[in-house]
Amino acid sequence: MKNHPLVKEILFSKEEIETRTKQLAKEIESYYKSKNVNENTVILIGLLKGCIPFMADFIKYFDHECQTEYMVVSSYLGGTKTTGEPKINLDLNISIKDKHVLIIEDIIDSGITLKYVKNYISFKGAKEVKVVTLLDKPEGRTVKIDADWSGFVIKHEFVIGYGLDYDERLRNLPYIAVCDVDKLKVWKW
Nearest distance from C-beta of residue 39 to Mg ion, angstroms: 33
* Residue 108 engages ligand IMP in binding (rule: CB under 6 A): yes
Q: How many residues bind ligand IMP (CB under 6 A)?
A: 19
Residues 139-158 that bind ligand IMP (CB under 6 A): 158
For the chain, what is the largest distance between any 2 Cα atoms, rounded to a whole number of angstroms? 54
Taking residues 68 to 107 in sequence order and writing x for each that binds Mg ion by CB under 5 A, - otherwise, the string is --------x-------------------------------
Q: Which is nearer to Mg ion, 83 or 122 (CB)?
A: 83
Nearest distance from C-beta of residue 43 to ligand IMP, angstroms: 19
Q: Are 51 and 68 in contact (CB under 8 A)?
A: no
In this structure, is the dihedral angle defined by the CA atoms of residues 71, 85, 168 and 50, taken in order, positive or negative? negative
**Does the annotation count 109 as an active-site position?**
yes
Q: Which is nearer to ligand IMP, 84 or 125 (CB)?
A: 84
Residue 99 CB partners (closer than 8 Å, separation 6+): 41, 42, 43, 126, 127
Nearest distance from C-beta of residue 27 to ligand IMP, angstroms: 22
Residue 154 CB partners (closer than 8 Å, separation 6+): 11, 135, 136, 137
Residue 23: count of CB within 10 angstroms of its CB: 13
Which pairing describes strands 159-160 and 176-179: parallel, antiparallel, or unpaired? Answer: antiparallel
Phi-psi region of 161 (alpha: psi -120 to 50; beta: other; left: phi over 0): left
Q: Measured between alpha carbons, how far is 129 from 150 in angstroms, rounded to an integer?
A: 15
Identified catalytic residue from 57, 109, 146, 167: 109
> Among 46, 53, 111, 151, which residue interacts with ligand IMP (rule: CB under 6 A)?
111
Binding segment (CB under 6 A) for ligand IMP, from list 14-22, 54-62, 63-71, 104-112: 104-112
Q: Which among ligand IMP, Mg ion, none contacts residue 122 (Cβ within 5 to 8 A by kind)? A: none
Binding positions for ligand IMP, rule: CB under 6 A: 47, 50, 75-76, 82, 105-114, 158-159, 164-165
Task: Please give the residue ranges that form the binding site for Mg ion (CB under 5 A).
Answer: 76
